[in-house]
Every structure is written in C-alpha cells, then in structure tokens.
C-alpha cells in the first residue's frame, strides 16, 4: 500500500516537467510512496483527474554500483513488451534528465489489482488458488517465448553464455565476501562449504543445461506479480530492475523456489520454507490445508506446455542446484555486510547465517544432479 512519502522529491519541478512533456498526466499531483520497491523508490502519483500512475526513480545520492538501479532498463523492457501477450504496465514516459528531481525516473500505468505475498494464496478458493498459480507459470512462459529481436531488445543482453557469466561473477564475489572480517571478533566470513566443488561442477560445460537466450525477468516470483482484483489471472509483472537476456531456467527455478526450499535436505526448516509446499507424505506438511495448490511437477509441466520446449529433469536439477548456490552467496554477502556493520540489525545477522545451510542444500542437489547425469550416460 502507498503511504507517507519517506524520500521527498521536488514536486513542483516534476509538475512543470509533466505539463511540458507529458500532457496525459495533469497536475497538480498528490504523491504517496509504496512500501515495496525500496531498491528503486516507488511512488503513487494521482493527478487532478484522480487518475493514478506509478513513478519509479533511482535512489538519491552516490550509488555504489553503476549496474544497479537501472530504471532506464526497466522502462525499456516494459515499453518493448506492451505489444506482446506478456502482461506489463503501460509505459508513460522516461526522463533521463537528472536535474528535474535529482535522478532519472519513469512513469507507468497504475495497475489496480492484488499483490500476494504468500505463494500459497491463503485467502482464495481452491479453484482460484490453482488457476492463479497456473497463470503465473503461463505468464513466465509467455515472457520466455518473446524473441528479443522481435521487440527491439536484441542489444538488451548477450544471447549466449548466461550461466558461464553467472559462475564467473559469483565465483569472484564469493571469494571477496569470504575475506570480510568481523569488526568485533576479527573472525572471517569464510568460503562456503564445498565451494571449490561447486565451481568445478558448474563450470563443466557437459554438465550444463542447453544454452538458451531469452528475455529473463531476474526475480520472477509471486510477489512481483499483480493479479486481477477478482479474477485468477495476472495483469502485470513488476520490478524489472535486473532483467536481461539470459537462460529461462534462472527464472523458472526462482518461481518454483517455494517447493525447492520447503523440501530441501539435509537442513530444514530454513528461511522461506513453507509447510504448505511440503510433500503431502511428510508429517509436517500442511498441504491439505491449501486445496488446489499444484505440485512442483504440475507447475513445471504447465511451463513446458506454454513455453514450447522441453526441459529434461537433469537440466532442471542442475539449475535448481545453481539457484541454491547463488542464494548461499547472496546470504554470504549479507553476512559480509554484517561483519563490517554495514548491516547491523539482528535480521541481517539471521539471514547471513543461512549461507552455510543453503550451501549444504545446494551441494545435496549437486549430488542428485550427478546421479541423474551418470544414469543418463548409461542409457
């Protein structure tokens, strides 16, 4: 929900810009700020005709990364997808002139729908729960069917080698984070368990999924979707900050993560685990309390049917194990920031402690991937 503006912007300057360049949006404006979208501050803009819009901008001040907070990329991809069957908000305008409100910003359509945080959809009927999951999966597959060249996004990212670039990036990142020293104890964050084994396994081309290059969202999950207010369908995908051209399994593994983490071994339960997604045979499972919730296998099959290409189980297992490895490095990064007290609250400490359990879960999945590949080789 939108509420009080926590990061003020020059409203008068914004109104002057819109009067001159964007006649659709009619000042004077009322501004509120959303609680989500903290990476790129996000505002609800209501104009004099009571029409609502959304403004996304870069954070104020000196940014630590030149590649993060790319609101221009967000605008570019949603604008490119407007003429496809992928549901996105309509792009209204992009302003690259930082002198207006201090940073680049863009304005898009406000989608009046539902945003759901819990992927078990606790407050809907069994029929709608199943159909909302099915449409989320179909929506992802529709995105992956779009050929970047057909919508003018052939330069949006490299068409091949996505996982190799990811491996190189996370290898370097993990080693630098491991060297972080706790400000009070002097203890190093340290490398993840099985780190060298991870890198060796993922780097072997014969182990990797078939190389593909599609438009990927980068963080495709239930709470980045807007659903129709009463119907069980997706009306928009939000938060395109890290979208690029990459491998479709990176998005798919992110979407099915509730099943992955909830059923992962040897360490359970972990942060983000949900008993609704536990195997019904598990005595801890609450799956029966959420009728209509699909199985992981059903979700993957829905994706296959809409995307139009096969996903061998050994490729999916590889990609799931890589996703857990990536998550463990993200948690390691939180631990590194906590060590130097750039993130000092207890929640950061708790999340940082997840790096080793997630690495163990990822390594267990690597072992499963190796078994599948050995079995395939014998056929």
> Mean pLDDT over residues 24-34, rounded?
96
Q: What is the pLDDT of residues 306-355, one digit of tens each?
A: 999 999 999 999 999 999 999 999 999 999 999 998 876 778 899 999 99
Alpha-carbon distance 248 to 253, whole Å?
9
What's the average model confidence in pLDDT over 186-197?
Answer: 97
3-state secondary structure of 18: helix
Rounded CA-CA distance 197/328 in Å is: 14
Whether the CB-CB separation of 74 and 240 falls below 8 Å is answered with: yes
Mean of all residue pLDDT scores within the chain: 93
Q: Which residue has the higher pLDDT, 252 or 67?
A: 252
> What number of other Cβ atoms are within 10 A of residue 356's Cβ?
17
Arithmetic mean of pLDDT, 68-79 = 89
Averaged pLDDT for residues 33-59: 88
Residue 301 has pLDDT above 70, yes or no: yes
Confidence of residue 63 (pLDDT cuts 50, 70, 90): very low
Task: Kindly tell me if the per-residue pLDDT of 38 is higher than 60.
Answer: no
Residue 361: predicted pLDDT: 96
pLDDT score for 175 = 96
pLDDT for res 346: 76
pLDDT at 35 (0 to 100): 77
In the chain, where does DSSP find H-type helix?
A: 11-21, 71-81, 126-145, 162-178, 195-203, 248-255, 257-263, 296-307, 313-339, 346-352, 355-378
Are 190 and 206 a contacting pair, CB within 8 Å? Answer: no
User: Which pLDDT score is estimated for 65?
Assistant: 45
Residue 28 above 90 pLDDT? yes
**Percentage of residues in the chain having pLDDT higher than 70:** 96
Peptide bond into 266 cis (omega under 30): yes
Gap between the Cα atoms of 117 and 8, Å rounded = 27
Centroid of chain to Cα 342? 23
Least confident of 38-42, 206-210, 280-284: 38-42
Instruction: Answer with the residue of higher pLDDT: 6 or 200.
Output: 200
Cα gap 71→5, rounded to integer Å: 19
In tens, the pLDDT along 151-176 reads 999 999 999 999 999 999 999 999 99
For the beta carbon of residue 19, count every other beta carbon within 10 angstroms: 12
State the residue for tokens 């029929």: 127
How much is the pTM? Answer: 0.94
pLDDT of res. 377: 73
Is residue 95 within 8 Å of residue 243, measured between CB atoms? no
């Amino acid at each position: 929900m939108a509420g009080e503006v926590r990061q003020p912007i020059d409203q008068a300057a914004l109104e002057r810009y819109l009067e001159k360049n964007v006649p659709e949006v009619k000042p004077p404006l009322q501004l509120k700020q959303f609680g989500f979208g903290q990476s790129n501050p996000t505002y609800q803009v209501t104009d004099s005709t009571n029409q609502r819009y959304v403004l996304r901008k870069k954070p104020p001040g000196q940014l630590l990364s030149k590649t993060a907070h790319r609101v221009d990329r967000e605008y570019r991809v949603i604008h490119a997808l407007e003429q496809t069957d992928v549901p996105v908000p309509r792009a209204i305008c992009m302003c690259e002139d930082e002198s207006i409100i201090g940073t680049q910003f863009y304005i898009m359509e406000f989608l009046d729908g539902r945003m759901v945080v819990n992927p078990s959809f606790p407050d809907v009927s069994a029929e709608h729960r199943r159909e909302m999951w099915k449409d989320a999966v179909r929506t992802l597959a529709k995105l992956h069917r779009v050929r970047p060249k057909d919508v003018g996004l052939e330069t949006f990212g490299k068409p091949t080698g996505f996982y190799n670039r990811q491996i190189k990036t996370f290898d370097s990142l993990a080693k630098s984070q491991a060297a972080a020293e706790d400000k009070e104890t002097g203890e190093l964050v340290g490398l993840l368990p099985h780190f060298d084994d991870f890198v060796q396994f993922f780097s072997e081309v014969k182990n990797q999924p078939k190389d593909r290059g599609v438009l990927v969202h980068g963080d495709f999950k239930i709470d980045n979707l807007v659903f129709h207010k009463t119907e069980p369908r997706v009306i928009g995908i939000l938060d395109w900050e890290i979208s690029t051209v990459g491998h479709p399994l990176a998005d798919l593994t992110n979407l099915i993560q509730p099943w992955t983490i909830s059923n992962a071994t040897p360490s359970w339960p972990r942060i983000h685990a949900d008993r609704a997604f536990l195997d019904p045979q598990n005595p801890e499972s609450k799956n029966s309390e959420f009728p209509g919730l699909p199985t992981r296998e059903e979700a993957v099959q829905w994706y296959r049917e809409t995307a139009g290409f096969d996903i061998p189980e050994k490729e999916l297992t590889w990609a799931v194990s890589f996703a857990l490895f990536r998550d463990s490095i993200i948690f390691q990064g939180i631990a590194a920031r906590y060590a130097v007290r750039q993130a000092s609250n207890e929640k950061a400490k708790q999340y940082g402690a997840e790096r080793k359990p997630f690495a163990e879960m990822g390594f267990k999945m690597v072992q499963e991937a190796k078994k599948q590949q050995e079995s395939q080789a014998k056929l």
